């Protein structure tokens, strides 16, 4: 059994650990890029959302690399994501690929477990527990690397330092084979980041990124939005969702995640009282909380025709006005170009900068007693 799963940001690191510690070989295709997207878009339905297209291309890459079992998370939701696995496997089979499907969430859980047990042999349950522990440790390590890098990147003295450290540590976490090793790596990581020379001016713009999960987390789809904002524009970008959150919240491994997402549901109920199946509650809550959490603006990133995010788009202008927070909508599909996105980002950031300058000037002037008169 050679299991493959589609890419999503750095999720492959903990997922590979999970599969391999259970005792099954994992096939990890290359990181997706524009070619993967075009490959997927060629075979996918015309106006399906973007993640479908890129993960379809990813599945084809994995099958070419010799995978014989395709794993995918499915579910019975109102969002299209729940049916991805089913339809993608229909398309792949019609294209002539032969493989076994592992549709987690759609098939009977017992049937999935039987398949795993057949592949692993004895002691499957004990191994699964061990694998889950490694999985959690690696997910937390990836999360720490990403969040440290997000903070350091716009403030680094020498451009590129943060990315170099990040790349090195991601590879090390991927290669680590025990929890103890992961823990050591995290300790070294903290030392390395605290030794990194940072500029200590407090002038860095902070931007909250909300929107659809996959577009938020997959750098090949959003033109590496977080890294670009940090390294090129010197802006600290904080996505509201993370790989860690997506991987661990359905597994009940971190109670904090549950508290925060149930709060998000509660807060967004005034805007969207019913569950739509996507990340609409995080989008709404992220935009509502942005001014209080010290963000200068919000970027809303979503794929073309995404249902929950399009519904959010009718609500966000209202939030933007009532909460006085600028919101930029960025729509992504396979025709979106780097230049168009970049121009809009630059204009938005210029606007944020002048807004902040105006706010501070007003405060300074007030302190001098000019404005009061």
Give the footprint of other proteins on this chain (CB under 8 A).
45-49, 76-80, 82-83, 86-87, 90-91, 94, 106, 271-274, 276-278, 304-308, 310-311, 313-315, 317-318, 331
Interstrand relation of 205-211 and 2-4 (parallel, antiparallel or unpaired): unpaired
Angle between helices 109-120 and 124-152 (to 10 degrees): 100
CB of 55 to other proteins, least distance (A): 13
| Spacing of C-alpha 76 from chain mean position | 22
Q: How far is the CB of 265 from other proteins (least distance, A)?
A: 14
| Residues 83, 360: Cα–Cα separation, whole Å | 49
Q: Looking at beta carbons only, is 50 or 352 nearer to other proteins?
A: 50
Helices (H), the chain: 12-22, 34-43, 50-64, 84-94, 109-120, 124-152, 161-175, 179-195, 213-217, 225-231, 243-248, 255-268, 280-289, 307-322, 338-368
Beta carbon of residue 311, minimum distance to other proteins (angstroms, whole number): 5
As a whole number of angstroms, the distance between CA 127 and CA 114 comes to: 14
CB of 51 to other proteins, least distance (A): 12
CA dist 15 and 126 (Å) reads 18
Residue among 90 and 251 whose Cβ is closer to other proteins:
90
Q: How many residues does the chain have?
A: 373
Q: Which residue's CB is nearer to other proteins, number 124 or number 311?
A: 311
Rank residues 10 and 283 by Cβ distance to other proteins and give the closer one.
283
Contact 278, 318 (CB under 8 A): no
DSSP 29: P
Nearer residue to other proteins within complex by CB, 79 or 128: 79
- Name the residue nearer to other proteins (CB basis): 5 or 271: 271
Q: Under a CB-based contact definition with an 8 Å cutoff, are residues 119 and 24 in contact?
A: yes
Nearer to other proteins among residue 249 and residue 310 (C-beta): 310
Phi, psi of 138 (to 5 degrees): -70, -40
Whose structure tokens read 């943060």?
162
- Closest separation in Å from C-beta 305 to other proteins: 5
Q: Residue 52 or residue 135: which is nearer to other proteins going by CB? A: 52
| Of residues 34 and 106, the one with the C-beta less far from other proteins | 106
What span, in angstroms and rounded, lies between the C-alpha atoms of 122 and 27? Answer: 22
| Cβ neighbourhood burial of 100 (10 Å; 0-12, 13-18, 19+) | middle
Closest approach of other proteins to the CB of residue 77, in Å: 6
Q: How far is the CB of 366 from other proteins (least distance, A)?
A: 33
Q: How far is the CB of 7 from other proteins (least distance, A)?
A: 21
Name the token pair of 118.
Answer: 């057949």
What's the token pair of residue 75?
């579910």
Supply the minimum distance, in Å, between the C-beta of residue 278 and other proteins: 7
């Amino acid at each position: 059994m050679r299991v493959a799963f589609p890419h999503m940001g750095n999720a492959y690191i903990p997922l590979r650990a999970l599969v391999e510690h259970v005792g099954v070989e994992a096939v990890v295709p290359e990181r997706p890029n524009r070619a993967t997207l075009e490959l997927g878009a060629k075979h996918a339905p015309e106006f399906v959302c973007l993640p479908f297209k890129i993960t379809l291309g990813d599945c084809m890459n994995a099958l070419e690399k010799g995978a014989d079992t395709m794993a995918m998370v499915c579910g019975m939701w109102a969002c299209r994501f729940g049916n991805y696995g089913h339809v993608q496997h229909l398309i792949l089979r019609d294209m002539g690929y032969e493989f076994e499907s592992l549709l987690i969430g759609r098939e009977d859980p017992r049937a999935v477990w039987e398949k795993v047990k057949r592949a692993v042999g004895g002691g499957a349950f004990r191994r699964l527990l061990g694998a889950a522990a490694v999985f959690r440790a690696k997910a937390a390590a990836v999360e720490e690397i990403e969040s440290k890098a997000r903070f350091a990147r716009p403030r680094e003295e020498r451009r590129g330092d943060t990315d170099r450290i990040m790349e090195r540590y991601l590879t090390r976490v991927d290669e680590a084979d025990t929890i103890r090793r992961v823990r050591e790596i995290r300790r070294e990581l903290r030392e390395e980041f605290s030794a990194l020379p940072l500029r200590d001016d407090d002038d860095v713009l902070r931007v909250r990124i909300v929107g659809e999960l996959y577009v938020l987390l997959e750098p090949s789809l959003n033109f590496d939005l977080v890294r670009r904002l940090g390294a090129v524009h010197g802006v600290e970008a904080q996505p509201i969702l993370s790989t860690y959150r997506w991987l661990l919240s359905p597994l009940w491994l971190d109670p904090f995640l549950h508290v925060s997402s149930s709060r998000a549901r509660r807060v967004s109920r005034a805007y969207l009282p019913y569950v739509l199946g996507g990340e609409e509650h995080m989008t709404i809550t992220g935009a509502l909380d942005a001014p209080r959490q010290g963000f200068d603006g919000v970027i809303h990133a979503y794929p073309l025709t995404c249902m929950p995010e399009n519904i959010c788009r009718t609500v966000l202008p209202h939030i933007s006005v009532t909460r006085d927070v600028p919101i930029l909508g960025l729509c992504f599909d396979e025709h979106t170009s780097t230049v168009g996105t970049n121009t809009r980002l630059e204009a938005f950031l210029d606007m944020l900068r002048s807004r902040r300058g105006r706010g501070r000037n007003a405060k300074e002037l007030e302190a001098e007693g000019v404005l009061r008169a």
